[in-house]
Amino acid sequence: MEVLEYFSASSEQLFDKSWASFFLKESQQAYFKSLINFLKKEEKTGPPLYPPKSLIFNAFYQVPLEQIKVVIMGQDPYHGCGQAHGLSFSVTQGVSSPPSLKNIFKELQNDLHIDPPKHGCLLNWAHQGVLMLNATLTVRESEPKSHYGQGWEIFTDHVIAEIVKLDRPIIFMLWGKSAQEKCLHLLKGDAQKKHLVLQTTHPSPFSAHSGFLGSRHFSQGNEYLVKNKLEPIDWSVK
């Protein structure tokens, strides 16, 4: 996987082996090679990029394809120093939780009576099969959406399509217009019948009170998992 060497000295460090054939296929595509060339130029000429290269594919390393239970779709990584680590909405330990994440914790408290945690690192969710994916996997420092239109959207469309093909029910939590537009065109017909699609507004302070707070997606998701004889998610942050 020579193309992937840009991201790490060892491509095996980038993702769980269950994703290997998918990454091999994507890395051979023209759009992916063009994306890497764009990132190389950005790295040389622009401000810092987030997350660090070794963490860009962290979600795929933490959640094997065959273990996915829930997909939470975000827009692009946090653009502040030390925040992003490859999982949408999550931040590294020691970093203050951004406003959207604080609203997620508010909804968890309202829905499942889980007290707000002391940190915002959501690795515990990933280890239980929650794939936290952004539509765009990199960003310039202090410039949200700065890497839109460079190929990441094609890549993450293909990720969603790969997940939709799985022969078991998956929960898609689509928070906000961006997440809904990203996924709904791939969740039609039989796919929509097979999976649970939960939609509401984004947890941002600008929209959380218009639907996200009170949506009860966490309890609805767990009820669906139990109904399908799957272990529910422990949504506490540890």
Catalytic residues: 76
In a 13 Å sphere around the CA of 1, the CA atoms on its Cβ side amount to: 23
Whole-angstrom Cα distance, residue 69 to residue 237?
17
Per DSSP, the chain holds a count of helices (H) and strands (E) of 9, 6
Whole-angstrom Cα distance, residue 151 to residue 139?
13
Whole-angstrom Cα distance, residue 233 to residue 170?
13
Q: How far is CA 34 from CA 3, 52, 129, 153, 201, in A?
A: 10, 19, 31, 13, 33
